[in-house]
Structure 1
Amino acid sequence: MDIERAGEALIRPGQILTDRSALSAAARWTQAVSEADGVCVIHLTSGVDPCEITRELREHGFRASPNHVFAGQPLFFGGPATRPFPCPPISHRPGRARSQVVVGLVDSGVAAHRWWSDSDWYARTSAEDADATEGSQAGHGTFLAGLLVRGAPGVSLRVSRVLDGDGVGDEASVVRALHRMRDRPPQVLNLSFGGHTFDGRPPPLLADALAELTDTVAVACAGNTASDRPFYPAALAGTIAVGAVDHTLERRAPFSAHGSWVDACAPGEWLTSSFLERGEFAGYASWSGTSFATAIVAGAIADAARDLPAKEAALRVLDPQVTRQIPDLGVLVPSNL
């Protein structure tokens, strides 16, 4: 899919997101409209700048955004958060205990794996939500799934694929996936992807979609940007933004985003989890990134939510009165994996 740069953000060229209320106002710039799951993607006439049209529509009170490109967050140039590495098999036996907690995993999909081969939730996962098998981030969702089921034994995952094998997706796909969850919202939502916005402000349709999941705790990666620039969806109000610490549990991992908008952190270097069976990989890998620190935090909240409403569980896990804090990274959530 085409991508172009708008300042520090990446966007789909010639596309803006809005709802039906703005279609008539944007008609003079519109070549075509595609609508699904409550989201309209306006395909603009050639040569029209989607950022300029977004500003115009917002000035008139409409909810609009360029179709921002989002990416999974092992991506980091010059550090360990770049690609997975093979590792020996990991000892893990799914327990008999069943949790009533559902975690929404919106990512690259989940592949078959021995850890969940007999699970009800994987049997309900459609072929469309299977993990990618080719690309630089193929296996990203499968790796996250392993961290979640080990961090919250007995939990069920509800998988929605929005990223391709290179870990790339867009805002329209994410918002549509969130809208499809409204009838049966998960207690916890893992969002291990994101990006900057063209103007540094929250993307309104994405913010609206998450706000509609009123009883869901959304946990999102702060990004592997090594900067304090807000990264979305993590920087949205009400979302738990997760950065990464190194193996000492004292310092920020060099790739991790940071800043006052980051709420929590967890280990993010050389984590091991489930993976694809391909090439030199035998179903297990070691990988680094804020993507995976996010799954540790989401798993801890999901585990605590066995006995509490999810939002109360999040307050307990992230209680600054009882948990150590790391400057510019928020509350530390250690891993027992």
Structure 2
Amino acid sequence: MNFHSVGAALVRPGQILTDRSALSAVARWTQAVSEADGVCVAHLAPGVDPCELTAEMRAKGLRASPNHVFRGQPLFFGGPASRPFPAPPIPYRPARTRSPVTVAVLDTGVAEHPWWSGAEWYARVAPEDADAAEGQQAGHGTFIAGLLARLAPGATLRVRRVLDGDGVGDEAGVIRALHRMRERPPDVLNLSFGGHTFDDRPPRLLHDAIAAMTDTVTVACAGNTASDRPFWPAALPGVVGVAALDAGQRRRAVYSGYGTWVDACARGDWLESSYPDTGEFGGYAAWSGTSFAAALVSGTIAGEAAGRPAKDVLKELLDGGGHRQIPDLGVLVPASL
């Protein structure tokens, strides 16, 4: 995998992200530049540290970031969130009526499944956005899509693959996917991945890409870090950061991130949902992680937004809505599946 660790953050070596106005400031250290969909990736000369260069550019008031690596968040090595387990078929009938709500799913893609075999949105999924066939997190996006389908019946899913089969993607890829959604922004955006930044500061270009969709409710997982270190994009202003609770929905799941930057929490342990029909799996799995707690919150918001703006649903939710507030975990969002 093409990344390395810097201060417990993962970055693409030799890459820095910026906008067109700042390219001249990095020209002397740059070998090549790739520009697409709202972000420039400067490929640096050997020996140039992208984190040090980022700090220099920011000191001059320029927008810059190393190309941080993001990962899907069931992974917690040695714990229950490490991998999916086969599950028996789940009795569920897809909705016959269509909801006006659109939910964007940036993830590993979505595979074919009986729950959406005849859905218009799935017919529009491009081959490159089909769920990854191999890797530790292949099926991650399909699992999330199933949670959303059950909580927001009839909603349209817009699928973009930004993670590979091992659940690995990067900041540049996410920004580009978000940029392509700006003309038709979704009602709800689910981001079940993330990571730390090298300096624990918010990634500015990613923040701007999310903030550009002003009417979209963005939900992101708090990470399987078992710490209060800010996890991005969940910790960004305007993003609903979601922590995971245990199966009893009483305590924080041992792997879940937490802190003042977390807005909501939902069950993350031993959820069951759709999964690719491969190997020992017959189309269903049980899995744990903040990734899936975030999907429960996204699905709950989308399910209640059929008759009113998603932003209004979110405001009511975060104001308490009669649900318990838990320190460092935010408001409890109960989800019945």
Q: TM-score, normalised by structure 1?
A: 0.99
Offset from partner CA, 1:214-259 (integer Å, 9 cap, x none)? 0000000000000000000000000000001101211000000001
Give 1:104's aligned residue: 104
* 1:169 and 2:169 correspond: yes
Residue in 2 aligned with 1:142? 142
Q: Please tell me whether the aligned partners of residues 300 and 317 of structure 1 are also in contact (alpha carbons under 8 angstroms).
A: no
- How far 1:70 sits from its partner (Å)? 0.1
Q: Distance in 1 between matches of 2:268 and 2:319?
A: 21
1:78 to partner: Cα distance: 2.2
The corresponding residue for 1:237 is: 237
**SS of structure 1 residue aligned to 2:277:** strand
How big is each residue's C-alpha offset from its partner over 1:177-234, in whole Å with a ceiling of 9 and x where there is no partner? 0000000000000000000000000000000000100000000000000000000000
Which residue in 2 is equivalent to 1:334?
Answer: 334
Q: Percent identity?
A: 69
Equivalent position SS for 1:25: helix
- Matched residues, number: 337
CA-CA distance at 1:316 after TM superposition = 2.1
Q: Is the 8 A contact 1:121 1:158 kept in 2?
A: yes
1:264 aligns to what?
264
How far 1:41 moved relative to its partner? 0.3
Where do residues 110-259 of structure 1 align in structure 2 (5 Å cutoff)?
110-259=110-259
> Is the contact made by 1:251 and 1:326 (CA closer than 8 Å) also made in structure 2?
no
The runs of 4+ residues in structure 1 deviating greater than 3 Å are none
Verify the 8 A CA contact 1:193 1:223 in the aligned structure 2.
yes
Q: Deviations over 1:156-186 (max 9, x none)?
A: 1000100000000000000000000000000
CA distance in 1, matches of 2:324, 2:146: 26
Measured in 1, the distance between the counterparts of 2:72 and 2:194 equals 7
RMSD across aligned positions (CA): 0.7
SS at 1:17's partner residue? Answer: strand
Deviation at 1:327, TM superposition (A): 2.0
Is residue 308 of structure 2 the alignment partner of residue 308 of structure 1?
yes
User: Displacement of 1:263 after TM fit?
Assistant: 0.3
Q: For residues 80-113 of structure 1, give each alpha carbon's deviation from its aligned partner in whole angstroms, at most 9, with x where no partner exists.
A: 0000000101111112121000000000000000
Q: Describe the SS at the equivalent of 2:276.
A: strand
Matched residues in 2 for 1:91 and 1:321: separation? 30
- Amino acid across the alignment from 1:101: V
Q: Distance in 2 between matches of 1:315 and 1:118?
A: 34
For structure 2, the 5+ residue unaligned runs are none
SS state at 2:28 partner:
helix
Tell me if structure 2 keeps the 8 A contact 1:304–1:317. Answer: no
Asked if the contact 1:318/1:333 (under 8 Å) is kept, the reply is: no
Residue aligning to 2:31: 31
- Rounded to whole Å, the distance in 1 between the matches of 2:52 and 2:166 is 29
* Distance apart, 1:280 and its partner CA: 0.2
- Kindly indicate whether the alpha-carbon contact (under 8 Å) linking 1:250 and 1:326 is maintained by their aligned counterparts in 2: no
User: Which letter maps to 1:216?
Assistant: T
1:2 paired residue number = 2
- The one-letter code of the counterpart of 1:326 is I
Contact 1:73–1:221 under 8 Å retained in 2: yes
Map 1:47-62 → 2, pairs under 5 A: 47-62=47-62
Amino acid at match of 1:211: A
Aligned-pair CA distance for 1:321: 5.2
CA contact (8 A) 1:221 1:291 kept: yes
**Residue pair 1:228, 1:258 contacting (<8 A) in 2 also:** yes
SS in structure 2 of the partner of residue 315 of structure 1: helix
Tell me which amino acid in the other structure corresponds to 1:287.
W
Distance 1:312 1:140 in 2: 29
